Structures are given as C-alpha cells and as structure tokens.
Amino acid sequence: MLKSVLALLRRDLRLAIRHGGESLMPLLFLFAVLILVPLGVGPGPNLLSAIAPGMVWVAALLASLLALEGLFRPDLEDGTLEQWWTAPAPVGLLVATRLFSHWLITGLPVILFAPLAAQMLYLPDHALPVLLLTLLIGTPILSLIGGLASALTLGTKRGSVLLSILIFPLVVPVLIFATGAVSAVADGLSPRAHLGLLTSLLILALALAPLATTAALKLNVE
C-alpha cells in the first residue's frame, strides 16, 4: 500500500518537473500580481501594505485553479484512473496523495516565496508569521476543494468554466478569514478568531473532501 502511494507521488512530482513551465506557474502568478497591481493602484507603501494579504492570496488562488483542469482528466483519458480501483492501496488514499501532490506543486511555492512578496509590498514584519500561517492552513483547503470540484466536472466538455463557477463560492470564506487574520495583526489586533475559523475549515475539508472526491471519481469511471 505504501509503495503505491509513494509511486503515485513520485510520478506526479516527476511530471511536474518534466513540464517545468507548468510547475513555475504559481511563482509567475505571484510575481505578476506583485508587479502589475502596484502599477495600477500606485506605489504608495501604506496602500500596498493594506492590500498585501489579499494580493498574495489571490496569487495562491489563481495558481491553484490553473492546475485543477489536469488534476484527474489525463488519468481518465488514458485509463489510469480505472486502475486505481485495482491498486493495493485504497482509492481514497490515492486521491489524498494526488491532492497532496497538487498542494506541493501549487501551494508550497507560494508559501516559500511569501516572505519576499511581503517585503515587496511593505507588509509589517510582525504580520509576516501570521501570513505564512494562513497560507500553511489555507492553501491545502484550496487543493482539497479544488480536487472535489475537478472530480465533479470531470465528465463535462467545458469543465474549466464550470470548475471556476463551483470553486469560487467555496473558497471565498478561506480568503476572508486568511486576509482578515493578517489585517488584524497589522492593525494590532488578535488574529485568533480568524485563524480558528480557518483551521475549522481545514479540518472539515480534510474530513469530507477526499471521500466526496473519491465518490465523484467513481461515478466518472463507471
């Protein structure tokens, strides 16, 4: 069972490295936001500091959305997805592994480069740890919700359009709580309430999303 999980994880990461342009998209989105938004709103440090959490989180959301269309569709088209039901590992565990690899490719790069983004946007130094914490808690939620939406739209011809319609309402609370926590710290307030709600969303997503995604994939395979 462990060999199956590790083999799937190695395969996903190997494909991401092989398609180097796609694996760099999260960072390209992040730096595109960092460069273009200040040009539009102005270079004022006070304004950039106020909108910095939202800008970083928008980049994280766009990076997550970009990779969702190909999360399960190539495996469905080449028949690999059907073999998941004959693998030694439970299908739910394979689904969780695929979602984890999606987070490694899209969420982790944003977290690693968030300190640089915070410096470029004049985010107060004492707010940076909370920004990193919200990204660490919130980006897995994006992968979990995105995986479910990807599985639900797998059998549709225009899956990318329907995918966006499904995922945006679900991730709005994540963006609100995450940016609210960072803004609270920047204003000298406690972020505990926002972080608590964000953590609750993560627990709920971890408990329900892999099961629901597995059920949706089974419908497409059958």
Structure tokens at 11: 């395969």
Task: Give the mean pLDDT of 22-47.
Answer: 73
Most confident among 15-24, 76-85, 126-135 (mean pLDDT) = 126-135
pLDDT digits (tens, 9 = 90+) for 144-186: 999 998 888 887 766 566 777 778 888 999 999 999 999 999 8
Domain count, the chain: 1
Q: Residue 123 and residue 115: Cα distance in Å, rounded?
A: 9
pLDDT digits (tens, 9 = 90+) for 47-97: 888 888 888 888 888 877 877 877 888 888 887 888 888 878 888 898 999
Q: 18-49 as b/e, with b when 16 or more CB fall inside 10 Å?
A: eeeebbebbeebbeebbeebbeeeeeeeeebb
In Å, what is the CA distance from 206 to each residue of 80, 93, 138, 145, 175?
A: 24, 12, 12, 10, 18
List CB contacts of 136: < 8 A, sequence separation 6 or more.
111
What range defines the domain where residue 73 resides? 2-221
Burial 126-150 (b: 16+ CB within 10 A, else e): ebbebbbbbbebbbbbbbbbbbbbb
Reply yes or no on whether the pLDDT at 21 is more than 60.
no
Helix (H) or strand (E) holding 128: helix 128-152
> pTM to 2 decimals?
0.89
